[in-house]
Structure 1
Amino acid sequence: MMNKKMPNFILASASPARLRLLQNVGINPLVLPSNYDESQVNISDPKELVKTLALRKGETVAAQQTEGLVLSCDSVLAMEGEIYGKPADAAEAIARWQKMRSKVGELLTGHALIDLQQGKTLVRYQVSEVYFADISDRQIAAYVATGEPLKCAGCFALEGKGGLFIEKISGCYSNVIGLSLPLLRRMLDELGYNVTDFWSF
């Protein structure tokens, strides 16, 4: 345990799923969405893309703070040489699911942890394999009609109705939801913190 004062934990994301993941493990962060314009970044390598976007989002929020520990993330799905973020509309979501069904994709999440107290920044990424079920056009249409896929990188929410259409996950489960908890613990360790010191209960 560090002798210095524990910093405020700031989540630079509007994602309810990321917030729930943190709250479920006892961390109640201050939520400050970055509202960063992702169209400013055009990188074809998915690993570099998620790391860069996570860092830019974190830096946007950190620039407005004097202290704290800022966590920012960005997720994409990579499949057959294509990178998928959030679908633009229902038609794109349907077309994408028709491509994804019965295939395997890589869900990548970039994580940036900016420690304003120590003046240190860590940027890492996590990859999980997602095995999509061979679902019917009717099931795809019904799922897209719920609106859930339109809010998610990769066009599905594992913790929601989309979980019905994922056969299995290989790798970190929480990473597919948008934040790798094991990676976060290791990043905090690297900065000299104990994740249990951030518990709020």
Structure 2
Amino acid sequence: MKPYFQDKIVLASQSPRRKELLEQMGLKIEILPADIDEANGKDLEPIALVKDLSRLKARAVLSKCRDAWVIGADTIVVVDNRILGKPGSEQEAVQMLEVLTGREHSVLTGFTIGHKKKDKEITRAVETRVQFKSMPGNEILWYAKSPEPYDKAGGYGIQGMGGFMVESICGSYSNVVGLPLCEVMETLVKLGAVQF
């Protein structure tokens, strides 16, 4: 049995991982990436930042989709209160992995779900703690030379080859992939967007 949803659900993101996670739940998802300046709010605390960016993304798409549920999300990796974005080069990927090796870090995702016509909106944030194993330089370089790090916060994908670096996690696995499914589905049900 698939969940029931009356209005369409639009994901304000180009992330194939987020789309795949939602489709695993039986939801039919349309993609309409939000065009926002993500440099705004960099002076905010990490949790406030991901919530703010998710809200900006959702509202940018809500203005175009009045009759749909819109999901906006933003994920960051934080270590020592330092935000690690997506690496733009092999050198940046190596530097990020050198910071993460043998240490614990946080993966934070903010998400906003809203419906313009129904005048409903909820924003939440979820944190997962991830412990990396200690990696020698050759392992870091091998991973940085793969195509995997370059569209992912923190420069790794837990659901792919990057899973070999993860010793343990505390919290939502799907959050580390890009969207905390438990909390997102809970919020969709609370808003009346999805029924079982």
TM-score, normalised to structure 1, is: 0.91
Matches within 5 A, 1:14-163: 14-163=14-163
Give the aligned length. Answer: 192
Counterpart contact for 1:185–1:195, Cα < 8 Å: no
Misfit runs of 4+, over 4 Å = none
Deviation at 1:104, TM superposition (A): 0.2
Q: Which runs of 5+ in 2 are unaligned?
A: none
Please tell me whether the aligned partners of residues 107 and 128 of structure 1 are also in contact (alpha carbons under 8 angstroms). yes
Is the CA contact (8 Å cut-off) linking 1:77 and 1:108 kept in structure 2? yes
1:178 aligns with 2:178: yes
Using the alignment, how far apart are the partners of 1:170 and 1:53 within structure 2?
Answer: 24
Gap runs ≥5 in structure 1: 197-201
Report the alpha carbon displacement of residue 18 of structure 1 after superposing the two structures with TM.
0.6
Question: What's the CA shift for 1:65?
Answer: 1.5
Q: Matched residues, percent identical?
A: 30
Relative distance call for 1:156 and 1:110 in structure 2 (3 A) is same
Give, in whole Å, the separation in 1 of the partners of 2:28 and 2:43.
Answer: 33
**One-letter amino acid matched to 2:115:** D
Matched residues in 1 for 2:116 and 2:80: separation? 39
The code of the aligned residue for 1:86 comes to K
Q: Find the aligned partners of 1:75 and 1:195 in 2 and give their Cα distance.
A: 27
Q: Please report how far the alpha carbon of residue 66 of structure 1 lies from its aligned counterpart in structure 2 after TM superposition.
A: 2.4
* Alpha-carbon distance in structure 2 between the residues aligned to 1:177 and 1:71: 16
Moved more, 97-106 or 39-48: 39-48
Between the aligned partners of 1:86 and 1:18, the Cα distance in structure 2 is 16
Q: Give distance in 2, aligned partners of 1:27 and 1:156.
A: 27
Q: What RMSD, in angstroms, separates the aligned Cα atoms of the two structures?
A: 1.4
Aligned equivalents of 1:150 and 1:109: distance in 2? Answer: 18
Distance 2:59 2:194 in 1: 23
Following superposition, the deviation at residue 192 of structure 1 comes to: 2.5
